[in-house]
Amino acid sequence: MAETEVWTDLGDQRVVRNVVRPTLEAVLPDPAKATGAAVIVAPGGGFAMLAMDNEGWPVARWLADHGIAAFVLKYRLNQTPPKEADFLVEVGKIFAAAAKGETRPAIREDRATTDMLAALQTVRHNAAGWKIDPNRVGAIGFSAGAMTTMQTVMTAPEKAGPAFFGYIYGPMLPVTVPAKAPPMFAALAIDDGLFGKQGFGIVDAWRKAGRPVELHAYERGDHGFGMGRAGTTTMLMMDEFRLWLDSRGLLAPPR
């Protein structure tokens, strides 16, 4: 039997776990600032939780403040123990294994990809009501959210995946790039405790496939810096993502 969805404070951040019913929360820009672009925001958390306060709502509000319609995706997760103490032990094991480069326990949840595909479809279906250009619907994912976004790019039927995407501190190992893969904005701190020693194979794969890619590798910031860790150049990441979108003509206001 599925556990009940649980919201809790992890340090000074609000997280949710045991998600069994996905939701999509719209955060829309002032119509006077709207660009017509849209981004689905996928927080991370090792598929055991979602870091909504670090990689969800604040990211969406920032995007909306800059004229980009944002949609926070609360996707389905692996089940975790109902007791807080047991949950913390399990999460510790997951991230410790990832930091060692171990593949077990596997950090994945295929239903998250299904939820991302459904979110993209929902936003495009309702694009007119939200004043969005259906051809400019992308995504930005953090950690497990980046993995979810990448898996969507790799498996989506033609024109069903994101038109562009931000890949924020996801795994860096090379992949087989789809022939029509969308433009990718990748960001990682070099001292990332999970993926910082993997090189940049995924970026090289995009480049070798002749697909557009931009990489920002910050000296410090570790894993999970969200919109930026104070005192590091990761604080520039969201502005760089916006400027990248603008440089690709994705933020031109609708006529």
- pLDDT tens, residue order, the chain (255 aa): 456 899 988 888 999 999 999 999 999 999 999 999 999 999 999 999 999 999 999 999 999 999 999 999 999 999 998 888 888 888 778 777 777 776 545 678 999 999 999 999 999 999 999 999 999 999 999 999 999 999 999 999 999 999 999 999 999 999 999 999 999 999 999 999 999 999 999 999 999 999 999 999 999 999 999 999 999 999 999 999 999 999 999 998 766
Query: In this predicted structure, what is the pLDDT of residue 1?
Result: 41
Give the distance from CA 139 to its chain's centroid. 7
* Torsions phi, psi for 95 (to 5 deg): -75, -30
Q: Is-contact 15 1, C-beta < 8 A?
A: no
Query: Distance between CA atoms of 143 and 164, rounded to whole angstroms?
Result: 17
Residues 6+ apart with CB under 8 A from 66: 29, 33, 242
Query: In this predicted structure, what is the pLDDT of residue 100?
Result: 74
Tokens of 248: 């690709």
Residue 117's CB is within 10 A of a number of other CB atoms, namely 19
Hey, what amino acid is at 6?
V
- In eight-state DSSP terms, residue 199 is T
Q: Among all chains, which residue has been given the structure tokens 């890949």?
A: 167
Residues 6+ apart with CB under 8 A from 244: 185, 214
Q: Is-contact 224 191, C-beta < 8 A?
A: no
Give the distance from CA 127 to its chain's centroid. 21
- In eight-state DSSP terms, residue 209 is T
pTM of the model as a whole: 0.94
Sheet holding 213-218, edge to edge: 23-27, 69-74, 38-42, 137-142, 165-168, 184-189, 213-218
Query: In this predicted structure, what is the pLDDT of residue 254?
Result: 62
